[in-house]
Amino acid sequence: MIAPLEPPASHHVSAAEGWLELGNPAEAAAELAALAPEWSAHPAVLELNWQINANGRQWTTCLELAARLVALHPELPSGYIHRSFALHELQRTAEARDLLLPVLSRFPEEEILPYNLACYECRLGNLDLARHWLGKLFSRKNGSAWRRSAQGDPDLAALWPEISTL
């Protein structure tokens, strides 16, 4: 069980979230820097640090933060998702896919998993596998929203002409 953030840590995290929403990652980072060290491993803090670094395209740091999130909080899907995304951005897409595949059965309701797998397979040239993952995703309740996202995602560009029929 993850301990809830307590004041003043919860206030700093809320402020950091607000700064990120306002498009100011520097102020968000300053809020997190004000936290006591014992909160640095909290998943909310790790997530925000990941988002701040992703905003700055600091993918190596993002990979380190996601690996820490996976190690400390393996019950949360976000660490695995962030780790694979960072690997993909570091042009290590096969590794991103290989680390995400085993997680799929642990988090079957996480719709971003088949979406990201489709993106990775498409980028790797495995279009049949990308179609497979998109087909699974598009058949879900939120499939039409995912279809709209896929139609503009550069990672899925090779499949754009057929996305509406999958």
- Give start-end residues of each CATH 1.25.40 domain in the chain: 7-94
Token couple for 9: 């840590």
Per residue of the chain (166 residues), what is the pLDDT tens digit?
Answer: 788 888 989 999 999 999 999 999 999 999 999 999 999 999 999 999 999 999 999 999 999 999 999 999 999 999 999 999 999 999 999 999 999 999 999 999 999 999 999 999 999 999 999 999 999 999 999 999 999 999 999 999 999 999 999 9
pLDDT on residue 93:
98
- Tell me the two tokens of residue 73: 């909080």
CA distance 15 to 18: 5
Asked if 147 and 119 touch (Cβ cutoff 8 Å), the reply is no
Structure tokens at 152: 């503009």
On the question of a cis peptide bond just before residue 8, with omega within 30 degrees of 0, the verdict is yes
| CB 70 within 8 Å of CB 106 | no
Statement: 7-94 belongs to CATH 1.25.40: yes
